[in-house]
Amino acid sequence: MLPNAWDYASAAALVSAGFSAVGTTSLGVAAAAGKPDAEAATAAETLALAETLARLPCPVTVDLEGGFGRAEELAVRLSELGIAGVNLEDGGLADPAELCAMIRRVKESAPDLFVNARTDTFWLAAPRPLESALERVRAYAEAGADGVFVPAITADDDIAAVVAAVDVPVNVLFMPGRHTVAGLAELGVRRISMGSLLFRAALGAAVRTASAVRDGAAIEGGAPSYEEVNSLVSPRASRPAGGPR
């Protein structure tokens, strides 16, 4: 299970809840910075977040989207930080040869990084999405990818076909109402990502809480205390006298 965080606090909270690895979400990182996702505009924010997440006592994988035009440089820096892996994608369904070449360069520059190669044939509703996905994941695995990622794939037969097509671990994006963890595991999926789901859920919870305060309605429980959040960042910190809650 790979929950995806958008800042240090969200990642630390997930680790505190018992998750043994954490990834980043490109939508969450971009939206938190006031930028659109998938436009190669958040290289600085992604690297800055990785520098803080490297403090966590668990493996961390970072979404590099399409490499930001500097995949090898970023891969070397992330490896130096102790980051465990990266996602690289064929954004816009670019020629798979381009991602294959990038995978090779990244593995040469940072051989210890786990490279998860993502294809968006289902995400972007490409023609013949399964056939295209199979061609691409085979090519990416052959190029040296350590794992492959096919978000938005939902049908059991399609997932099983991808698992059977490659010898590397297959990653699937969890789709509420379409997947179960047990069902994906039975199909041979090795990694289940949550993508932007947690970030979007957090935004929804924040708006619902603010609206409840404004409207005099009951506030849903479950929010961590000031002390709990502060301890995620500084375990020895305590609330200053008269400080906010």
d(CA 234, CA 9) in angstroms, rounded, equals 11
d(CA 60, CA 53) in angstroms, rounded, equals 7
| This prediction's pTM | 0.93
d(CA 142, CA 138) in angstroms, rounded, equals 6
Strand (E) positions, the chain?
A: 4-5, 22-24, 60-63, 85-89, 114-118, 147-149, 170-173, 191-193
- pLDDT tens figures, 154-210: 999 999 999 999 999 999 999 999 999 999 999 999 999 999 999 999 999 999 999
pLDDT-above-70 percentage for the chain: 96
d(CA 76, CA 36) in angstroms, rounded, equals 26
Q: Are 199 and 31 in contact (CB under 8 A)?
A: yes
Give the residue from 71, 113, 112 showing the smallest Cα distance to 89.
71
Return the amino acid letter for 167.
D
Given a cut of 90, whether residue 233 has pLDDT beyond it is no
Tokens of 124: 């972007």
pLDDT confidence tier of residue 236, bands split at 50, 70 and 90: low
Residue 240, pLDDT score:
39
Average per-residue pLDDT for the chain = 94
pLDDT-above-90 percentage for the chain: 93
Given a cut of 60, whether residue 243 has pLDDT beyond it is no
Name the CATH architecture for the domain at 4-233.
Alpha-Beta Barrel (3.20)
